[in-house]
Amino acid sequence: MSGTIAVLGAGSWGTALALALARNGRDVRLWGHSPEHTAQLAADRENRKHLPGTRFPNTLIPEADLHQAVAAAADILIVVPSHGFRDLLERLAPILKPSQRLAWATKGLDARSGQLLHEVADELVGPNRPLAVLSGPSFAKEVAQGLPTAVTIAATDDSFGKDFARAFHSESFRVYTSRDITGVELGGAVKNVLAVAAGVSDGLGFGANARAGLITRGLAEMMRLSQALKADPQTIMGLSGVGDLILTCTDDQSRNRRFGLALGQGNSIDEAVANIGQTVEAVRTAREVYKLAQRISLDMPICEQVYYLVTGEVDAETAVRNLMARAQKAEF
């Protein structure tokens, strides 16, 4: 990754990652789907909507035209919400050059097919294109502020993984590499669903014991799913699994946790989403994880109750009662 990198998606995370790359000496084109928003980024040299107070280096250029952003780039990094991932790849498929490698930092599953995002990428712009995913415990605001952060990049191709890691790696942004794309993607998707459960529990005032119990039994669900999908269990014990699970379940910067908190405090789903005003991935991911677990007959009781919550089939207290009423069993 020595040439320009096109970051596609100009929300909080796309902007923070574009800043990390530009500060690390890379030329970056930051594309956003709203021309008004991209014009504001170009005029202010700052993303006032998502990350106020952080000036863009000269090497970070906002770009309203997708074709131009892609044409200028050696490699591509997608950072749109998961519901826009497939559509964006369909737009990219006819314009990507064979030499351009593709990475993403989106967390979630494909809302149309329930597939992992690397399966969608492989289908639409593969099969031989090097692919990579960046994930781990990393709030956009802290990355934009240059606070110490560690993440994982999993790639289909070792040289892409190393190049991509080098493009980001700095004294404040530490990058570990992996080959387990499935494990890294699963951790990033499922932790958002579990963060809703932790938020609900805290919103109901259930205390520290309940939160720790939910995180630990949630980790067991993540582990079970990763084993069923032939991911490496070690990945779940790493940054993109337990690392991001702890971050998102315990800190109120997390939008998924705040969504759960709001439900636990008696707000409706629509009120909670509107008040947060940004992407809350778990609203969709809870459905996809539930369907996936059903399809492969896997027991994921916490994710199941979050699914019933986001579909309005139970309220917060009933979801917790349902979990506590389960039959006694061995821990492992």
Ligand X SMILES: O=C(CO)COP(=O)(O)O
| From 54-62, 84-92, 95-103, 161-169, span contacting ligand NDP (CB under 6 A) | 84-92
Instruction: Check residue 124 for interaction with ligand NDP (CB under 6 A).
Output: no
Instruction: Check residue 149 for interaction with ligand NDP (CB under 6 A).
Output: no
State how far the Cα of 115 lies from the Cα of 135, in Å rounded to an integer. Answer: 17
Question: Closer to ligand NDP at the Cβ: 101 or 191?
Answer: 191
State how far the Cα of 196 lies from the Cα of 272, in Å rounded to an integer. Answer: 12
Q: Give the three-class secondary structure for 265.
A: coil
Instruction: Report the residue closest to ligand NDP, judged by CB.
Output: 11
Q: Give the number of residues in contact with ligand NDP, rule: CB under 6 A.
A: 27
Quick one: which of 23, 26, 29, 50 contacts ligand NDP (CB under 6 A)?
50
Residue 328 burial (CB count, 10 A):
4
User: In the sheet where 173-178 sits, what is the strand order?
Assistant: 60-63, 28-31, 5-8, 75-78, 101-104, 131-135, 149-155, 173-178
Does 288 count as an annotated binding residue?
Answer: no
Question: Closer to ligand X at the Cβ: 130 or 199?
Answer: 199
Quick one: which of 4, 20, 60, 81 contacts ligand NDP (CB under 6 A)?
81
What's the length of the chain? 332
Instruction: Check residue 11 for interaction with ligand NDP (CB under 6 A).
Output: yes
- Name the binder of 247 from ligand X, ligand NDP, none, CB < 5-8 A by kind: ligand X
x-or-dash string of contact with ligand NDP, 103-122, rule CB under 6 A? --xxxx--------------
Does the active-site annotation cover 191? yes
Instruction: Check residue 241 for interaction with ligand NDP (CB under 6 A).
Output: no
State how far the Cα of 11 lies from the Cα of 303, in Å rounded to an integer. Answer: 27
Please state the φ and ψ torsions of residue 323, each to the nearest 5 degrees: -70, -45
Least distance CB 58 / ligand X (angstroms): 28
- Could you give the residue ranges of the DSSP H alpha helices within the chain? 12-23, 35-44, 66-71, 85-92, 117-125, 140-144, 158-168, 181-203, 207-228, 233-236, 244-250, 255-264, 269-276, 282-295, 301-310, 316-324
Instruction: Check residue 76 for interaction with ligand NDP (CB under 6 A).
Output: no
In the set 141, 162, 191, 230, the catalytic residue is 191
State how far the Cα of 155 lies from the Cα of 304, in Å rounded to an integer. Answer: 30
Least distance CB 82 / ligand NDP (angstroms): 5
Question: Closer to ligand NDP at the Cβ: 139 or 204?
Answer: 139
Question: Closer to ligand NDP at the Cβ: 20 or 210?
Answer: 20
Q: Give the three-class secondary structure for 52.
A: coil
State how far the Cα of 200 lies from the Cα of 188, in Å rounded to an integer. Answer: 19
Using DSSP bridges, classify how beta strands 149-155 and 131-135 pair: parallel, antiparallel or unpaired.
antiparallel
Least distance CB 276 / ligand X (angstroms): 9
Residues that bind ligand X (CB under 6 A): 107, 137-139, 192, 195, 244, 247-248, 254-256, 281
Catalytic residue set: 191
